[in-house]
Amino acid sequence: MSHREPSSTGLAQMVQVESQDLSALGNRAALAMCGADTSYRSFQAACQTILDGLHDDVEQVRLYLLDPVDRMLHEEAVVDHFGGQEGADLIPLYQLPDELTAKHLSVQHNLGEQWEILVPLPAQDQIAGVLALVCFQKLPPHLDEKILRLGRSLAVGALFVRRSREAERASTLLKAVTETSGKLQGLEGRNLLLENFVTTAVEAFGFDRATLFVFDDNGRKVKSAICARTGFGVFPLPGVPDLPPLSDKPAPHPHLPGLWIPIRMGSRRLGLLFVDNIYTLEPPSRDVIQPLVDLASQAALALENARLIERLRETALRDDLTGLYRSGYFQERVKEELANSRRRKDSTGLIMLDLDHFKEINDTYGHPVGDEVLLRVADRIRQSLRVGDTACRKGGDEFIVLVPHLNAEQAGKMAQRLVDEVKSSPVELPDGRKVEIGISVGVALYPTNAGNWQDLWTRADEALYLAKQAGRGQWAMWTPQAKMSLGG
């Protein structure tokens, strides 16, 4: 294709524009857009149809589609005599003259050797898009109406694509909600569930961020908060920011495009989701809000399920009477902590306790008083725990405490304190009599006294035996000599 010379009279000669039925050409091009493919390829086919029809008059054809949300014209395809490709240009609607966008008239401007004609694709009081034709000549006024007819025909195709894409978007959203909803019901760990939820809020709903605040069991204080931004996974917030007064219903942020969505189960608050566009400042699309609220309800249900499962698991791990851990779980904790201790290269203590003369208490006062005594000892143990310590009721009147970061001196002090505290906490009976309690305590340290959890367990037991042998109401630390005295 070579450039044509302008006519010697100065008047434009657009042979094909003049001779062709442009409505029919527009219809053929629009038909190319009305297939199953709603990608740029359908626009490319339409551009090609127009270029083929106006081959001698037009050097390049471009089609723009208006996005009514961002009010930008997105270049969909561009085709010239060398081929075609996906468009990349964006034109804010306001940058186009009113003649084109409001009055639906074509406009043209000089590009040097060529002229660019912008033709509106009218849609009621707006435009659905714009057709750009780069021509060798200026369009003479008498052909203006013909070229507008081309635009009117093409508008049908543009509107079809726009609606199809809207339907596709709605369908994608629905699919995302359904998938996430299914996942929420299937996921077992609460953290995984929450992470999935906030990630979906960003990835499927297109928000800049999603932040989820999870409340404690009373629904009063925020227990944890996580935030998602696409591309960076989910990360915990270092602190909990001030939250607005909580409402029962979704509430928009007063100053920013953002939405607070409460996550409730009945009247109980489980969490609060905040989705926002703090970086783009774009108002969220209206069609995403209700599905997101629905998803939050699903999340509430899943959260509640997870909470119940966690509670069941927790209950299964604990002793019915004292609420301390059962032996099975405790052993796992000991193994875990010794591995940590090995990494940290520090010492961990195992403290084993046994009530003195517990059988006599049971026999004298009966089992209800015996239970009261066990509860009192469990309380005293609980009070002596630091963060990270774990206590268990081994069975009967035996207890064990796992104490990380513990050296021999600290272990001795802790054991003595336990002996003293239990001794000073007699159980008072309804008739005013007091039941004195005493314990014997054995202590062993990892790695000083044992290289693995079984040996540590055995040595704490041996130390306890020594304390009993030594007269009860006291503590003993395991030493090799102590082992010898036991005949080991």
Partner 1 sequence: MPTQVGSRTGKLFNRAVTSFRKANPSVALELRVIPWSNAWGEIMRAFKQGEPPDVMQVGSSWMGTLAHLGHLARVPDGLDSRGLVADWVGECATINGVKLGLPWVVECSGLIARRDILDAHLKGGDLSSWKGFMSFCRDLGEHANKQEIDPRRPLPVGITCRPEPVTLHNLHPWLISGGWKLSELLGKGASQILSHKSSRPGLEYLGELLRVNRTDEDSGTIQPYRLSMDFYQEGRFAFLIGNPWMIVRNEIDPTASVESRWPVTFLPIPAGPAGLATRGGGSILAVSSRSRNQELAWKLVKNMIGPSFMDVWTQSSGDLPAHLGGFWTRNGEHPEIQRIRKSLEAAKNYPAHPMWATIERVLARGLSDILWSLLANQNLSEQGMSIAATVDEELHSILQLAWDRHP
Q: Which of 254, 266, 368, 487 binds partner 1 (CB under 8 A)?
A: 254
| Between 79 and 187, CB nearer to partner 1 | 79
- In sequence order, what are the residues at sequence separation of 6 or more whose Cβ sits closer than 8 angstroms to the Cβ of residue 290? none
Local structure of 399: helix, strand or coil = strand
Q: Which of 460, 465, 349 is nearest to 410 (CA)?
A: 349
Retrieve residue 387's tokens: 């963060």
- Owner of token pair 């657009």: 14
Q: Which helix (H) or strand (E) holds 335?
A: helix 327-344
Q: Residue 286 corresponds to which tokens in the numbers above?
A: 């209206």
Q: Is 171 in the site for partner 1 (CB under 8 A)?
A: no
Sequence-distant (6+) residues with CB within 8 A of 263 are 212, 269, 270, 271, 272, 273, 296, 297, 299, 300, 303
Do 140 and 14 contact (CB within 8 A), yes or no?
Answer: yes
Per DSSP, the three-state class of 357 is coil
**Residue number, 127 or 444, with CB nearest to partner 1:** 127
The answer to whether 139 and 17 are in contact (CB under 8 A) is yes
Stretch of 15-23, 38-46, 74-82, 182-190 lying at the interface with partner 1 (CB under 8 A): 74-82
Is residue 282 a contact residue for partner 1 (CB under 8 A)? yes
**336 backbone dihedrals φ, ψ, rounded to 5°:** -60, -45
Computed from CA positions of residues 405, 410, 416, 418, in that sequence, does the dihedral angle turn out positive or negative?
negative
Q: Does 10 bind partner 1 (CB under 8 A)?
A: no
- Say how far apart CA 458 and CA 123 lie, in whole Å: 85
Tokens in use for 472?
């009860």
Q: 87 near 77, Cβ under 8 Å?
A: yes
Binding residues for partner 1, total number by CB under 8 A: 50
* Min separation Cβ 157 and partner 1, Å: 21
357 binds partner 1 (CB under 8 A): no
> Is residue 1 a contact point for partner 1 (CB under 8 A)?
no
- Least separation in angstroms between CB 130 and partner 1: 13
Question: In the range 415-434, which residues lie near partner 1 by CB under 8 A?
Answer: none
Query: Given candidates 10, 141, 238, 471, which one binds partner 1 under the rule CB under 8 A?
Result: 238
Nearer to partner 1 by C-beta: 284 or 442? 284
- Interface with partner 1, residue 202, by CB under 8 A: yes
Q: Does 467 bind partner 1 (CB under 8 A)?
A: no
Q: Which stretch binds partner 1 (CB under 8 A): 26-34, 68-76, 171-179, 385-393?
A: 68-76
Check residue 251 for interaction with partner 1 (CB under 8 A).
Answer: no
Which listed residue (8, 125, 279, 434) binds partner 1 by CB under 8 A?
Answer: 279
Nearer to partner 1, 133 or 148 (CB): 133
- Which of helix, strand or coil describes residue 109? strand
Q: Minimal distance in Å, beta carbon 390 to partner 1?
A: 29
Distance, CA of 54 to CA of 64 (rounded, Å): 19
Give whichever of 75 and 389 is closer to partner 1, judged by the CB atom: 75
Region from 72-80, 187-195, 312-320, 355-363 binding partner 1, contact rule CB under 8 A:
72-80
Question: Does residue 34 sit in helix, strand or coil?
Answer: coil
Among 3, 249, 255, 345, binds partner 1 (CB under 8 A): 255
Tell whether residue 252 is a contact of partner 1 (CB under 8 A). no
User: Which parts of 79-118 interact with partner 1 (CB under 8 A)?
Assistant: 80, 82, 85-92, 94-95, 112, 116
Determine the Cα–Cα distance for residues 53 and 17; give it in Å rounded to an integer.
9
* Binding residues for partner 1 restricted to 294-353, rule: CB under 8 A: none
Restricting to residues 113-152, name those near partner 1 by CB under 8 A. 116, 132, 134
In whole angstroms, give the CA distance from residue 277 to residue 77. Answer: 30
Interface residue list for partner 1 (CB under 8 A): 60, 62, 70, 72, 75, 78, 80, 82, 85-92, 94-95, 112, 116, 132, 134, 202-203, 206, 208-209, 211, 227, 229-232, 235, 237-239, 241-242, 253-256, 258, 276, 278-282
